[in-house]
Chain A
Amino acid sequence: MDRQPSPAIDTQDLNLWYGTFQALFDVNLKIKSGLITSLIGPSGCGKTTFLRCINRINERLGYVRTTGSIEVLGHDIYAPEVELIQVRKLVGMVFQRPNPLPLSIRENILFGFRTHNAGKKITKSDEDQIVEDALKRVLLWDTVSSRLHHSATHLSLEEQQKLCIARLLPVKPAVLLMDEPCSALDPRATEAVEELIWELRGDFTILIVTHNMAQARRASDECIFMLLGKVIEHGLTEDVFISPEHKETADYIEGRYG
């Protein structure tokens, strides 16, 4: 942690309103490249809202207004010339409930890739390679390689969630946003997905929203604590958990409110 590479995500005075309700207040965060950062805080504190700003999926709701800036890899994603599709390509998202498309496993992996390479000639063997690479990367290849043409919705939840991560990889994202990626999973599956996330550490900047204190503690490098739309504390996970600077953080971590 001695070297200080430029942050993968850098927000400046980010404010966000849903209609007249302000959900984020002056969020200034620098999220380090290649690490896993967890976002914790009670429900409604703005964690998910913040996450959804980073690939601009929030805007789909017409009544959302933001001020301030977010730079991803040094580029302002709210700049006027920005193409949304390119933002989403670089910043992938994994949801709370696994949401594989109602297509085969193979088609799920290729969906994003084809979307971004429409019109180009891609041979079947190239596609096979992409599918194999993505599935191997998420430790799913051995279990599903024999049934790539089966529907993805028949996989177990753990496998579905891994698939949802895998399908982001062929377009080579730099940032992976995960919104409570394990909350629909049982403890064993949670462990497996956490292991996978740890596996991906280094190659991707990963930002995880979680309600699970233990998960934040064991599976992240840095931790951000938010409360009522404000960032209260941001530091190394061990520091935040062992010696938090703010009383609110300590209270939350100890379970005095949630």
Chain B
Amino acid sequence: MFTATELNIRNQKIERRVKLLFLLMTILLVIPVILILGVLVYEGGPLISVDFLLTDPKDGMTAGGIFPALVGTIWLVIVALLVSVPIGVAAALYLSEYARDNWLTRVINLAIINLAGVPSIVHALFGVGAFVLFFGFGTSILAASLTLAVMTLPVVIVSTREALQAVPQAFREACWNMGATRWQTIRHVVLPNSVSGILTGVILEVSRTAGETAPIMFTGAAFFLPFLPQTVLDQTMAMSLHLFVVSTQVPGVPEQLPFSVALVLIAIVLTMNSISIAFRIYLRGKKKW
């Protein structure tokens, strides 16, 4: 009575094939990641040492370390965060907690999506026009970081909004019904419960900011500087541009050097991501619903 019919058997076959296909696609996705990491570690790993991280490049960048680029990237990321996080979080709070669904909100949403879709080289040219020339910051950390901030704002806004929307509506209703204002609700209930999600977005932004080359090329990152930046109005070296330079622009670079630079850059990004995951797990554990 309960034996499989022919139709059942055919469906099972299709089921197995579909499952296999999807599995293969998933594996295909992992292969580049493993290959990239593998090649980088294999080629670039031997060159990496504390000295490599903490000394200046030497001999026309064909030897020595990457210290100024490392420091420069940290500068760029921090200044970009200082600009984009407050703006992005505030905008997300407005859009998710205050704005009503009307044409203006829809236009703003569309603008954010479009901003996310603008190629980074276009952001770079915008940065040159706006920050370097119009505001007169010159090619500097400030101009480069502002350009990066504009570019990553959509990431912050979208991820913050998602985090805010994950807070159950019932909490807000409870607050409003007790006579709390929207700000009191945000301050005491919404933000404490969405902070992990917001931080995740911020750290995603860090990885992206650290890796971008085009937006900083014309706005603040230098080919080679024998000294470290002192203020935000100085130029700086940066990891991503340094990688581009040693890979393509300088003759006589040892073959392993670009791999090592790339490995450090990826290590920074992966470390950031791991911190974000650890942090999220920690904050999730503290969540009370």
Interface residue ranges, A against B (CB under 8 Å): 55, 57, 60, 62, 85-86, 88-89, 92-93, 95, 97, 99-103, 111-112, 115-116, 118, 151-153, 164, 167-168, 171
A111 with B171: CB separation less than 8 A: no
Taking a contact as CB atoms closer than 8 A, the residue among A92, A103, A118 that contacts B177 in the complex is A92
CB distance from B75 to the nearest CB of A (A): 38
CB distance from A164 to the nearest CB of B (A): 7
Sample of 13 further A-B pairs with CB below 8 A, known A112-B180, A168-B178: A88-B176, A88-B178, A99-B170, A100-B174, A101-B188, A102-B287, A102-B288, A103-B188, A115-B175, A115-B178, A116-B179, A152-B288, A171-B178
Does B235 count as interface, using CB distance less than 8 angstroms? no
Does B289 count as interface, using CB distance less than 8 angstroms? yes
Taking a contact as CB atoms closer than 8 A, the residue among B100, B177, B193 that contacts A88 in the complex is B177
Interface centre among B174, B192, B193 (most CB of A within 10 A): B174
B179 with A60: CB separation less than 8 A: no
B173 with A99: CB separation less than 8 A: yes
Per-residue interface assignment for chain B, residues 220 to 246, with 1 indicating a CB less than 8 Å from any chain A CB and 0 otherwise? 000000000000000000000000000
CB distance from B17 to the nearest CB of A (A): 44
Contacts A101-B189, A103-B288 hold; do A57 and B173 have CB atoms under 8 A apart? Answer: yes
A167 with B178: CB separation less than 8 A: yes
Task: Give every chain B residue within 8 A of A99 (Cβ-Cβ).
Answer: 168, 170-171, 173-174
A-B contacts, 17 listed (Cβ < 8 Å): A55-B177, A85-B181, A86-B179, A88-B177, A88-B179, A92-B177, A97-B170, A99-B173, A99-B174, A102-B171, A102-B193, A103-B189, A103-B288, A112-B179, A115-B180, A118-B184, A168-B178
Does B101 count as interface, using CB distance less than 8 angstroms? yes
Taking a contact as CB atoms closer than 8 A, the residue among A62, A92, A111 that contacts B188 in the complex is A111
CB distance from B191 to the nearest CB of A (A): 12
CB distance from B196 to the nearest CB of A (A): 13
Give Cα A153–Cα B174 distance, bound, in whole angstroms.
13
B289 with A111: CB separation less than 8 A: no
Task: Give every chain A residue within 8 A of B287 (Cβ-Cβ).
Answer: 102
Q: Which residue of A lies closest to B193 (CB)?
A: A102
Give Cα A171–Cα B179 distance, bound, in whole angstroms.
10
4 smallest CB-CB distances across A and B, nearest first, come from A112-B178, A102-B288, A88-B179, A99-B170
- Total number of residue pairs linking A and B with CB closer than 8 Å: 68
Give Cα A112–Cα B189 distance, bound, in whole angstroms.
12
CB distance from A122 to the nearest CB of B (A): 16
How many chain B residues touch A (Cβ–Cβ < 8 Å)? 23
A57 with B177: CB separation less than 8 A: yes
Per-residue interface assignment for chain B, residues 189 to 209, with 1 indicating a CB less than 8 Å from any chain A CB and 0 otherwise? 100110000000000000000
CB distance from B192 to the nearest CB of A (A): 8
Contacts A62-B100, A115-B184, A153-B288 hold; do A101 and B177 have CB atoms under 8 A apart? Answer: no
Give Cα A118–Cα B177 distance, bound, in whole angstroms.
17
Q: Which residue of A lies closest to B184 (CB)?
A: A115
Task: Give every chain B residue within 8 A of A118 (Cβ-Cβ).
Answer: 184
A92 with B178: CB separation less than 8 A: yes
Task: Give every chain B residue within 8 A of A62 (Cβ-Cβ).
Answer: 100-102
Give Cα A112–Cα B170 distance, bound, in whole angstroms.
15
Contacts A85-B179, A102-B193 hold; do A95 and B174 have CB atoms under 8 A apart? Answer: yes
Give Cα A115–Cα B171 distance, bound, in whole angstroms.
15
Give Cα A7–Cα B5 distance, bound, in whole angstroms.
71
Give Cα A88–Cα B178 distance, bound, in whole angstroms.
6
B289 with A153: CB separation less than 8 A: yes
CB distance from A88 to the nearest CB of B (A): 4
CB distance from B121 to the nearest CB of A (A): 41
CB distance from A94 to the nearest CB of B (A): 9
Task: Give every chain B residue within 8 A of A151 (Cβ-Cβ).
Answer: 288
Task: Give every chain A residue within 8 A of B177 (Cβ-Cβ).
Answer: 55, 57, 88, 92-93
Per-residue interface assignment for chain B, residues 38 to 76, with 1 indicating a CB less than 8 Å from any chain A CB and 0 otherwise? 000000000000000000000000000000000000000
Give Cα A112–Cα B184 distance, bound, in whole angstroms.
10
Task: Give every chain A residue within 8 A of B171 (Cβ-Cβ).
Answer: 99, 101-102
Task: Give every chain B residue within 8 A of A100 (Cβ-Cβ).
Answer: 174
Q: Which residue of A lies closest to B177 (CB)?
A: A93
Contacts A57-B173, A95-B173, A111-B188 hold; do A102 and B178 have CB atoms under 8 A apart? Answer: no
